[in-house]
Structure 1
Amino acid sequence: MRLVRPRNSSESAPDLDAARLPWTLMYHSVTSATEDPYLITVDPARFRRQLRWLSARGLRGVSVGELMRSHRNGTAAGKVGLSFDDGYRDFVEEALPALAEYDFTATVYVVAGRLGGYNDWDEQGPRKPLMTAAQVREAAAEGVEIGSHGLTHRRLAGLGARELAAQVADSRHVLEDLTGRSVEGFCYPYGSLDDAAVEAVAHTGYGYGCAVSPGVHGGEFALPRCYVGDRDGPLHLTAKLVRDRWLR
């Protein structure tokens, strides 16, 4: 497993212990759907039941940035990271109110160059509206961590240096200008990453990067996450939690 340190690593926090990383859940869209070929949509009622399941087990949903800081200082017990990819508008309309009911927060990774647009990268799926600039600011004001999901949702593995810089660095600048806050987290679109992508995220100024299954990469710039979908009831979630703890 390759651990990537940022520049001036002697002056920065130590790498996270990849073998003991706390549980981080990966969501996308929270809404009612009749078509969901990519299995990225969770019904709002199911989502609330999933949050209730976490709360009943003494787990509190937090942003990935908070989770990583807690992990570094040894206070991550009882916390689970909640992450939402793509920045769908239903995050503000459906997920955010549900999170507030349980005093949870989360991270939403938005596609900085597609604000107010649609998920046209999902060729076979229904068109879903993305958060507008105003909704991104609204979510940030509610305590949600805003992270980057690239500039235009490109697969990063294999990109040339110029396009990689646009996806990683330019997207960060757009979101920081929009929110007036530092953007700490990056999430690789499609979970696509290679050495160059991980190095770019590490050296651009991000504090961490979220993957899905990081493969040979690891550490704070290729964090593994657990997929959650509409089929995940209590039994599935329990199995995923047990599997995660066993693997770690």
Structure 2
Amino acid sequence: MPHLEQFAPRRDTPDTSGTPGTADTADTAGTAVDRVVARMRALDAALPPRDGVAVFNRVYLAVTEEVDRHIDTGRFADARAAITLDVRFAERYLAAVDAATSDRRPPACWRPLFQFRRHPGVRPLQFALAGINAHIGHDLALAVVDACRSLGCEPADLEDEFDRVGDLLVALEERIREELMPGPDLLQIADPLTHLVGSWSLERARDATWSAARALWALRRLPDVAEEFTGRLDAAVGFAGRMLLTPLPD
């Protein structure tokens, strides 16, 4: 894994109920993002490099730092919305880490990564994509709802921020595949890893996530239905993650 280290509208009264973490949308630009970046850097320093959670954490740290740079340089039209979405998103991953660390059950979407994080038959690319699958497929949809509650807006008001963050993730995923996919092209064709990771697409996952976020927002006044929808989404994303972490021969 020699190269992965380099990945080193309307606003109503805010409602922060039901959201994880402590992000405050009144934070000055960058403060809340700095807080989650510090957490990820601490994890990077504490975890063994080959640990599956460490592999994903480095990838996600790179994304979060890139979002922070885009905010600082004014590339988001609504910096407050971008910060809120970014932090709510990160908090869900960090909450899953905290749950696993304290022997509580993380969401189903994250369990495969924590269960297989030290498996010798799982390759670094699989760990990276399984983490991205969990975070995009489940956490991002809930983070959009969290951010809408905090900002007093509709999902449509966050679509530009959602798309820009998604574009950064797609670009980084392409880079990850290039860095971590083994061997010459001819060998890649026969490598089981090629077939396994080729069955998952971040762009398709991102499109499905936007639909899920809009559905969850529409269901917010039907809590029982929203809870069932969220549970099924969590389970489905977890199943995909388990498939991505299938141990492979050397």
Q: State the TM-score, normalized to the length of structure 2.
A: 0.25
| Structure with greater strand percent | 1
- The structure that has the greater radius of gyration is 2
Structure with the bigger RCO (C-alpha within 8 Å, sep 6+) is 2
